[in-house]
């Protein structure tokens, strides 16, 4: 039994989908860094080479081939990194394609693992692309039996990890592209701890970090020992290289001491051992600085509390969307309301005040407070702002439409018109000056359709798309609480929400108060609760009925909405695929 600890480096990297060249450079740099740090193994997340998820790029043979060429380059470059084994997520191509992990060692591709469990729910479509893996090899690395598997594989108690454990794996490396939603970290940690304990081995869980369209990956890579205890954790929402020394001797010791696990293992071994080829890597030589002390404390980054976590997800998702689509700057319409104030604050935290432009677009219906509040916010944030009054254009537009629409009250048409003139201004600024337009609508509005298509919905990225209004308030309080001074003016938080598209308008003219609305939206949209169930939860029937109807009828608007950061288990977008033509009404 080898008692030299295994030093493993978890490369929690931020990749860009499709950027094979750039991603390969990051991988190589991290391999070198891990080697310098004396690691025996460095691992990279699921599909690290292509970025995750590459979606229909996977249907382009040229893309798959280009990813294989890049892997070859990395294999060749690994030649000089003596004693280091790298585990790299890539797309393998045999008679079909596989979501795969390459095991690379000193200039050779030592082995490949193919993902078994392909998620095809929620935001995932992996059955659309990949063939199912059939083998669960383990690798002997620096004298330690190591099983490698990918993401979903570890969520099944009887998955390939069990085979690997039965075949003698002492360490499992599970590489992930696991998108964030609030509370997911806790669920992952509990599951991983259970897997480690149940199988009596060390579980190394590695996740991507960064934003990709509607998804944000939170990182928070973790290592659990054979007792199910957390022994190391990387940062959340941040690239990281977490280096951990694994006390694999204690895995064997614990097996000897645990009759339950030992017996179970023997029984299974006797009856149904899976055929698992074991590939032996040459023993790496220890790098000079690798004098590690067994049982030395490892790095456990603190876990963020709920609001900090969500806020960080929004900052990273927004910043990465801008950066990865090639924008340096963003522009935001500032209404003096709470949504645009929070959006601007997030943008400043994501991209820096110098890269955020505010635009005030007052109309005759704008309160004086709205304008001064927006200016106070811009000053607090230190961002540049423009003022573009819409009154004249609104008048000209009404004059243009009167001959065909008549002289009656234009009602909703006139309200939307103002919002759309503002949308036009934002897009003209984007077209001429170049910044990405961030929209400011929240999930409560997106759900109920209390938003104007091509108006306030006009823009490239919807920061608060998955944030219910009540959470908007919580996040404002949170952000105000952490800085030296409150950035979001108190009067913005205190005043009743209004779209200010007609005199004296309040959101509550059209919607229930948000503290009533949001729990219903969560029940209906996120949890698929039925009408009956919602009544049993204590909601008022008429209100529930009305909200269900608003949600159902707004699908066509959401279909044309920009993407935004998913922070809940069920976001609008790929997560929730309802038809537009849909006559199903639970309550008739």
Q: How many residues bind its own copies (CB under 8 A)?
A: 90
Q: Residue 20, interface with its own copies (CB under 8 A)? A: yes
Instruction: Identify which of residues 83 and 564 has a Cβ nearer to its own copies in the complex.
Output: 564
Both tokens of residue 461?
Answer: 């990225």
End-to-end CA distance of the chain: 70
Name beta bridge partners: 203: 172, 224
Site for its own copies in 311-340 (CB under 8 A): 320-321, 324-325
Instruction: Identify which of residues 258 and 586 has a Cβ nearer to its own copies in the complex.
Output: 586
Site for its own copies in 202-261 (CB under 8 A): 211-213
Site for its own copies in 111-130 (CB under 8 A): 120-121, 125, 127-128
Q: Residue 60, interface with its own copies (CB under 8 A)? A: yes
Q: Is 427:458 a contact under the CB 8 Å cutoff?
A: yes
Site for its own copies in 389-418 (CB under 8 A): 389-390, 392-393, 395-397, 399-401, 403-405, 410-413, 416-417
Candidates 59-67, 179-187, 335-343, 369-377; binding stretch for its own copies (CB under 8 A): 59-67
Instruction: Identify which of residues 121 and 368 has a Cβ nearer to its own copies in the complex.
Output: 121
Q: Residue 63, interface with its own copies (CB under 8 A)? A: yes
**Any idea what DSSP says for residue 568?**
S
Among 234, 429, 447, 471, binds its own copies (CB under 8 A): 429
β 278-280/138-141 pair status: parallel
What would the x/- binding string for its own copies be over residues 446 to 485, using CB under 8 A? Answer: -------xx---x-x-------------------------
Q: Residue 563, interface with its own copies (CB under 8 A)? A: yes
Q: CB of 255: closest distance to its own copies in angstroms?
A: 36
Q: CB of 296: closest distance to its own copies in angstroms?
A: 40
> Is 69 an annotated catalytic residue?
no
Q: Annotated catalytic residue: which of 70, 106, 126, 151?
A: 151
> Where in 115-247 does DSSP place strands (E)?
138-141, 144-150, 171-176, 202-207, 209-212, 215-218, 222-224, 230-233, 240-246
Both tokens of residue 501?
Answer: 């598209």
Q: At which residue do the structure tokens 């929240």 appear?
A: 442
> Is 506 an annotated catalytic residue?
no
556 phi, psi to nearest 5 deg: -65, -30
Q: Is 451 helix (H, G, I), strand (E, B) or coil?
A: coil
Site for its own copies in 523-562 (CB under 8 A): 528, 530-532, 556, 559-562
Instruction: Identify which of residues 145 and 324 has a Cβ nearer to its own copies in the complex.
Output: 324
Residues in CB range of 484: below 8 A, 6 or more apart: none
Name beta bridge partners: 93: 97
Instruction: Identify which of residues 256 and 584 has a Cβ nearer to its own copies in the complex.
Output: 584
> Is 115 an annotated catalytic residue?
yes
Q: Annotated catalytic residue: which of 43, 106, 115, 220?
A: 115
Q: Is 147:157 a contact under the CB 8 Å cutoff?
A: no
Q: Is 570 helix (H, G, I), strand (E, B) or coil?
A: coil
How far lies 127's CA from each of 49, 97, 120, 158, 253, in Å?
Answer: 20, 11, 6, 20, 40
**Maximum Cα interatomic distance, the chain, rounded to a whole number of Å:** 90
Q: Which residues are catalytic?
A: 46, 115, 151
């Amino acid at each position: 039994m080898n008692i030299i600890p295994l030093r493993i480096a978890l490369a929690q990297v931020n990749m860009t989908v499709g950027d094979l060249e750039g991603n390969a450079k990051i991988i190589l740099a991290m391999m070198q860094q891990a080697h310098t740090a004396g690691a025996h193994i460095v691992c990279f997340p699921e599909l690290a080479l292509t970025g995750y998820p590459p979606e229909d790029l996977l249907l382009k043979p040229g893309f798959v081939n280009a990813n294989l060429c890049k892997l070859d380059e990395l294999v060749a470059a690994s030649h000089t990194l003596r004693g280091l084994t790298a585990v790299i997520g890539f797309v393998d191509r045999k008679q079909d394609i596989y979501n795969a992990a390459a095991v690379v060692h000193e200039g050779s591709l030592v082995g490949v693992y193919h993902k078994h469990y392909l998620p095809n729910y929620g935001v995932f479509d992996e059955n659309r692309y990949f063939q199912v893996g059939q083998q669960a090899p383990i690798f002997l690395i620096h004298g330690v039996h190591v099983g490698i598997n990918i993401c979903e594989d570890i969520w099944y108690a009887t998955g390939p990890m069990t085979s690997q454990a039965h075949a003698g794996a002492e360490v499992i490396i599970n590489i992930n592209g696991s998108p964030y939603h609030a509370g997911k970290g806790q669920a992952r940690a509990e599951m991983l701890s259970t897997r480690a304990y149940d199988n009596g081995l060390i579980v190394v869980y590695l996740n991507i970090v960064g934003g990709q369209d509607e998804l944000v990956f939170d990182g928070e890579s973790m290592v659990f020992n054979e007792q199910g205890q957390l022994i190391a954790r990387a940062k959340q929402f941040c690239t990281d290289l977490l280096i951990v020394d694994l006390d694999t001797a204690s895995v064997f010791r614990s097996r000897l001491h645990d009759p339950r696990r030992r017996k179970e293992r023997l029984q299974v071994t006797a009856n149904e051992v899976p055929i698992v080829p074991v590939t032996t890597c040459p023993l790496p030589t220890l790098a000079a600085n690798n004098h590690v002390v067994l049982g030395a404390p490892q790095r456990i980054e603190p876990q963020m509390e709920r609001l900090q976590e969500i806020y960080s997800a929004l900052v990273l998702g927004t910043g990465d969307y801008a950066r990865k689509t090639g924008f340096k700057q963003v522009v935001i319409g500032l209404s003096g309301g709470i949504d645009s104030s929070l959006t601007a604050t997030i943008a400043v935290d994501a991209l820096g005040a110098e890269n955020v432009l505010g635009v005030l677009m007052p109309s005759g219906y704008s309160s004086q407070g709205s304008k001064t509040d927006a200016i106070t916010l811009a000053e607090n944030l230190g961002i540049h702002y423009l003022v573009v009054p819409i009154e004249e254009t609104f008048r000209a537009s009404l004059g243009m439409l009167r001959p065909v629409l008549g002289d009656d009250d234009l009602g909703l048409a006139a309200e939307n018109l103002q919002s759309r003139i503002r949308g036009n201004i934002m897009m003209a600024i984007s077209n001429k000056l170049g910044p990405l337009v961030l929209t400011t609508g929240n999930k409560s509005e997106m759900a109920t359709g209390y938003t104007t298509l091509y108006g306030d919905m006009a823009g490239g990225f919807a920061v608060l798309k998955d944030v219910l209004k009540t959470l908007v308030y919580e996040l404002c309080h949170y952000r105000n609480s952490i800085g030296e001074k409150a950035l979001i003016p108190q009067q913005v938080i205190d005043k009743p929400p209004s779209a200010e598209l007609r005199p004296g308008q309040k959101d509550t003219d059209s919607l229930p108060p948000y503290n009533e609305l949001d729990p219903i939206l969560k029940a209906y949209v996120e949890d698929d609760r039925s009408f009956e169930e919602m009544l049993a939860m204590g909601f008022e029937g008429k209100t529930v009925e009305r909200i269900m109807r608003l949600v159902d009828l707004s699908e066509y608007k959401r279909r044309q909405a920009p993407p935004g950061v998913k922070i809940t288990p069920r976001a609008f977008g790929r997560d929730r695929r309802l038809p537009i033509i849909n006559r199903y009404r639970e309550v008739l």
